[in-house]
Structure 1
Amino acid sequence: MENPFSKALSADPAPLGLAAFAFTTFLLSFVNAGLIPASGANVVVPLAAAYGGLGQLIAGSWEMRRGNTFGFTAFTSYGAFWEFYALLQILADLKVLTVLPSVAVGWSLILWGILTLYLWGGAMLLNLALNLVFLTLWLAFVTLGAGAVYSSTALTHVGGYFGILAATFAAYTSFAIVMNSIRPGMLPLGPGIMRRKS
């Protein structure tokens, strides 16, 4: 008897994870870049918990089920990042923690940048669109981290713009994968920079 869930299990979870990342990153990056007031961070918190975090954790769990180690590691890690961000903001608002701005927060962002740097290496093998997502995200984390460590508004604004670029590339990649699932080859993702050995 045919498994009624077999088609559902073959669906690609990457567009969900990329969209959850992209649209949450857009909003926070608008704040970091100074394009919307800092109070906009209050709206980022529920979006980070419900979509950026949960959406990527779901995508990561399905990537694991499909045997995609890269997708599992990336989506689960960045989903956890958004849950970390939301929890940090909530605890700060409740006066449980006094963290913002903070050198420790800056270094936590730099550490996320290190994770992103090593994932960027994997993205180079996949396609140009993902390569650009991870490159600009790495630049965003490092610049935002330095901005927090040195209390530099200018660096935070630059990091915000890198975040907007990362979100743009992620949104495009999500859209391209969805459209290509309907009509193969409709939108290009570009070749990987490095070729896999067969």
Structure 2
Amino acid sequence: MTVTSSLPATGDEARAQSPSRIGHALVVGAAGFAWCSLALGLSTTGAMNSVGSTMILSGTFFYGGLVQLVAGFFALAAGATFVAAFLTAYGAFWLGYTAIQVYVAPHIVASVMAAGTGTGASAQALQAQAGHDISQALGMFLVAWLVVTAIFTVASLGTNAVTVLAFTLLDLTIVLLMVAYLGASSVGAPVSGALHAAGWVEIVLAAVAFYIVLAELANETLRRAVFPLFPLAPAA
């Protein structure tokens, strides 16, 4: 999700005010978030095969994770607290997502299989138990992220309408994923309807996030508001 130049001291204004002349960190990190959202949305809807879904992990680690995290630290140095909080939080999220896919989930499967050795349980039953455990853990993992995202959504009310829309879509995506994983079958299969719906919402979210990146970059380089973001009046 993303924030925008309607925040204090971002874009040209920030560079004019900052002696260190730190660039506009938002667009650097938000582009990574948009890319990861689009890639994961395509994977979740089934538009991308299993091999392609594995390939996106390189993007979630480097572009969504490392680049966004570094951009967040630059935003913090520039005094853009909301931008910094968002970028570092979701940079960590994408790094965590990569770690879950590459290490944590396979480790859970291996642990369940090892613990079931000698108990008489079949390999199929143990695989089903591992799948169910992973789905439940993912659901609870997302509950915590929903709390974080809800906080950002409230804070975004002081930015602009497009940013608020992006955070709202992210909230909806997380809720649908929670329904999919917490309602998983006994073998760990997520609720397909909720899972696919989450994927489509995430694709829309990616489009909104890419629009914010486009607006921030184009409005700055062209030096006029070609792509409106509809700033919201700050609370009195």
Conserved? CA contact 2:22–2:74, under 8 Å: no
Equivalences for residues 1-198 of structure 1 within 5 A: 9-92=21-104, 95-98=106-109, 101-151=134-184, 152-183=191-222, 184-192=224-232, 195-197=234-236
The TM-score normalised by the length of structure 1 is 0.89
Q: Which runs of 5 or more residues in structure 1 are unaligned?
A: 1-5
Q: CA deviation at 1:64?
A: 0.4
Paired residue type of 1:111: A
Identity %: 27
Paired residue type of 1:119: F
Conserved? CA contact 2:142–2:178, under 8 Å: yes
Q: CA deviation at 1:36?
A: 1.9
Conserved? CA contact 1:140–1:160, under 8 Å: yes
Paired residue type of 2:53: A
Conserved? CA contact 2:156–2:163, under 8 Å: yes
Q: CA deviation at 1:186?
A: 1.8
Instruction: Provide the C-alpha distance between the structure 1 equivalents of 2:147 and 2:137, rounded to a whole number of angstroms.
Output: 15
Aligned Cα RMSD in Å?
1.8
2:121 corresponds in structure 1 to none
Conserved? CA contact 1:110–1:146, under 8 Å: no
Q: CA deviation at 1:147?
A: 0.5
Instruction: Provide the C-alpha distance between the structure 1 equivalents of 2:202 and 2:146, rounded to a whole number of angstroms.
Output: 12
Give deviations 1:60-93, integer Å, cap 9, x for gaps. 1011001111111110000000000111111157
Q: Relative to structure 1, is the Cα distance of residues 8 and 36 closer, same or farther in structure 2, using a 3 angstrom cutoff?
A: farther
Paired residue type of 1:124: L
Give deviations 1:88-144, integer Å, cap 9, x for gaps. 111157x32337541111121122122111101111110111111100011001111
Q: Which runs of 5 or more residues in structure 2 are unaligned?
A: 1-17, 110-129, 185-190
Q: Relative to structure 1, is the Cα distance of residues 61 and 147 closer, same or farther in structure 2, using a 3 angstrom cutoff?
A: same
Aligned residues: 190
Instruction: Provide the C-alpha distance between the structure 2 equivalents of 1:176 and 1:14, rounded to a whole number of angstroms.
Output: 12
Give deviations 1:142-178, integer Å, cap 9, x for gaps. 1112101112011011111111111111110011000
Larger radius of gyration: 2
Instruction: Provide the C-alpha distance between the structure 2 equivalents of 1:161 and 1:79, rounded to a whole number of angstroms.
Output: 22
Conserved? CA contact 1:125–1:196, under 8 Å: yes
Q: CA deviation at 1:34?
A: 2.0
Q: CA deviation at 1:53?
A: 0.5
Paired residue type of 1:166: L
Instruction: Provide the C-alpha distance between the structure 1 equivalents of 2:228 and 2:69, rounded to a whole number of angstroms.
Output: 26
Q: Relative to structure 1, is the Cα distance of residues 7 and 31 closer, same or farther in structure 2, using a 3 angstrom cutoff?
A: farther
